[in-house]
Amino acid sequence: MKIKIGTRGSKLALWQAHYISDLLKKGGAETEIITIETIGDKILDVSIAKIGSKGVFTEEIEEQLAKGNIDIAVHSAKDMQSILPNDFELIAFTKREATNDIILSHNKNISLKDNIVLGTSSTRRIAFLKHLYPHIKTVPVRGNLQTRIRKMKEGACDALMLAFAGAHRMGYDDMIVQKLSTDEFIPAVGQGSVAIECSTSLDQDKKELVRNTTNNTTAEIQLLAERAYLRQLEGGCSIPVFALAKVENNEVNITGGIISLNGQEVVKHSASSITDNPVKAGEKLAELVLNSGGDKILKEIKEKIN
Lowest mean pLDDT among 30-44, 132-146, 158-172, 272-286: 30-44
Mean pLDDT of the chain: 92
Query: What pLDDT, on a 0 to 100 scale, did the predictor assign at position 266?
Result: 98
Asked whether the beta carbons of 195 and 223 are under 8 A apart, the reply is yes
Lowest mean pLDDT among 19-23, 75-79, 227-231: 75-79
Query: What pLDDT, on a 0 to 100 scale, did the predictor assign at position 82?
Result: 86
Report residue 247's pLDDT band, with 50, 70 and 90 as the boundaries: very high
| 40, pLDDT greater than 60 | no
For residue 160, the surrounding DSSP H or E stretch is strand 159-163
Query: What pLDDT, on a 0 to 100 scale, did the predictor assign at position 143?
Result: 84
CA distances from 65 to 52, 130, 157, 282, 298 (A): 21, 40, 38, 28, 32
Report residue 45's pLDDT band, with 50, 70 and 90 as the boundaries: very low
Lowest mean pLDDT among 47-51, 165-169, 251-255: 47-51
Q: Is the pTM of this model over 0.95?
A: no
For residue 242, the surrounding DSSP H or E stretch is strand 241-248
| 237, pLDDT greater than 80 | no
Residue in 59, 166, 173 with CA at minimum distance from that of residue 122: 166
| 235, pLDDT greater than 90 | no
pLDDT digits (tens, 9 = 90+) for 82-126: 889 899 999 999 999 999 999 999 999 999 999 999 999 899 999
Helices vs. strands in the chain: H and E counts, helices first: 11, 13
Query: What pLDDT, on a 0 to 100 scale, did the predictor assign at position 112?
Result: 95
pLDDT digits (tens, 9 = 90+) for 152-186: 999 999 999 999 999 999 999 999 999 999 999 99
> What average pLDDT does range 217-225 have in this prediction?
98
> What average pLDDT does range 22-33 have in this prediction?
97
Domains and CATH numbers, the chain: 1-94+194-215 (3.40.190.10), 101-179 (3.40.190.10), 217-306 (3.30.160.40)
Report residue 50's pLDDT band, with 50, 70 and 90 as the boundaries: very low
Beta strands in 17-131 (DSSP E): 30-35, 72-76, 88-93, 101-104, 117-119
Q: What does residue 227 show for φ and ψ, rounded to 5 degrees?
A: -70, -30
Q: Is 79 a catalytic residue?
A: yes
Query: What pLDDT, on a 0 to 100 scale, did the predictor assign at position 194?
Result: 97
Three-class SS of residue 146? helix
> What average pLDDT does range 266-293 have in this prediction?
98
Given the residues 79, 87, 174, 203, select the one marked as catalytic.
Answer: 79
Asked whether the beta carbons of 112 and 136 are under 8 A apart, the reply is yes
> What average pLDDT does range 247-255 have in this prediction?
97
